[in-house]
Structure 1
Amino acid sequence: MKKKSLIILLFPLILTGCQSYKKVPYLQDALQQTATADTNVPDMSLYDAHIMPKDLLTIVVSCPEEPELAEPFNLTIATPASNTGNKSLTSQPALQQYLVDNDGNVEFPVLGTIHLGGLTKGEAEQYIKDKLKPQFRETPIVTVRMVNYKISVIGEVGRPGTFTISNEKVNILEALAMAGDMTIYGIRDNVKLIREDNNGKREIITLNLNDQDILQSPYYYLQQNDILYVTPNKTKAKTSNISTSTTIWFSVVGSLVSLASLIIAITK
């Protein structure tokens, strides 16, 4: 009889524990559904970042057959010398960085104003090649890189912060890994993505990381300057309120005790 009563009392707790666990894993039921996935879904591995206003670019032009013709297009800037004791060390010149203006334009040597906004890195390289062809006997090599490609992860993660992405490609799960993954208090099915488009318009997208469909989402890969916000669950919010209230309560009690001690000391 006692065992039955104990089981009845513990049954709701067991159910609650099971339900809570269901909200924790990412990509639930992915293994079971992978085999029946739609084969017509576009290959998301082909993602390439697009150049946006306020991006910083390095553009390198080279031509092994005519290196002297490429020199005017590769501007460098002097870096300050560093002092080590009584010795002065000079640093190698750094490549000029080009800021994309609000209209998507860049001021490039010799060519003048070129429009790169909205193009992928590969498209920008081909565009500059086409512009340079009349000035070279052989097709030049053009390399475009984004210097300030960064994303931010805040909220219920282990190490919130802003991260620079060197390969200009990062997905949501990689971003969370860089930020130390979600804490147990993070809501997996209510992650907010804050994104700004070329026109400066911001949108907030709600993502469900419990659902395997996130792998095919157009928001799976992050753009430069994206912000991921992991919202806390109710347990975290309640804990925060209790902690704040407790701190205030101890502060009030401490003040009253100090005041009472002062009054006793005066009246003696």
Structure 2
Amino acid sequence: MQDRPIKLLTYNVHSCIGSDRKLDPGRIASVIAETGADIIALQEVDVGRRRTGGIDQAHVIASLLKMQAHFHPALSVAEEQYGDAIITALPTGVIKAGPLPSAGETRGALSVEIIAGDRKLLVVNTHLGLRGRERIQQMTTLLNSGWLHGTAEAPLPTVLCGDFNAIPSSATYRLVARSLRDAQLAGGDAPKATFPSRYPLMRLDHIFVTDDLVVRRAMVLQTRLTKVASDHLPLLAEISFA
């Protein structure tokens, strides 16, 4: 792990229901496996929901990848949960999860300290709201309330990723871009849209990094499989410690 970049993937999996309306967590796991990602941040994951067969999608996908899942429900109704997950086979440290200020559907964030060799990396995964003012409040909370600093005395190298529901011209994107770097811009290639998966028009899914991380490469994965597995395309970044 010390000699090669860490591969980090963010992916809104749409409850594992594809653009062909087929429910298939195995197909999502196949998309992830093809990338060789070390750390996977998922949004729109169902756990125990009747509409998707009552299974724990985070656990199923992690099991297929021979990894561990850390799940945070942004929404809980009785036994049914819906939210975000971070999946990895790397050792993990402190985990933090909680709600974000929400006017509409409840939103949250999940952060996991991940141990890569003799270094630690903080990965924060979120799915922001649909309203502009709400997204600004949510991003302000993430940037200013200790979410990005972990529990270490000195701030850890940090990745903030997920479905921000925000295009690059939005106020939310501009807010985060003031203090963190967009991996798609830092990775060299021209940035690509992630939504909708069949005919991507909007760049809603993002990976942002602190200055102590180097982005070797970043890419949106557009294949026959990714075009049907979810309504979003996955975004992969290869990062290493500066």
Question: TM-score with structure 1 length normalisation?
Answer: 0.22
If each structure's helix is expressed as a fraction of its own residues, which one has the higher value? 1
If each structure's strand is expressed as a fraction of its own residues, which one has the higher value? 2
**Whose RCO is larger (CA < 8 A, sep 6+)?**
2
Larger Rg, first or second structure (1 or 2): 1
Question: TM-score with structure 2 length normalisation?
Answer: 0.23
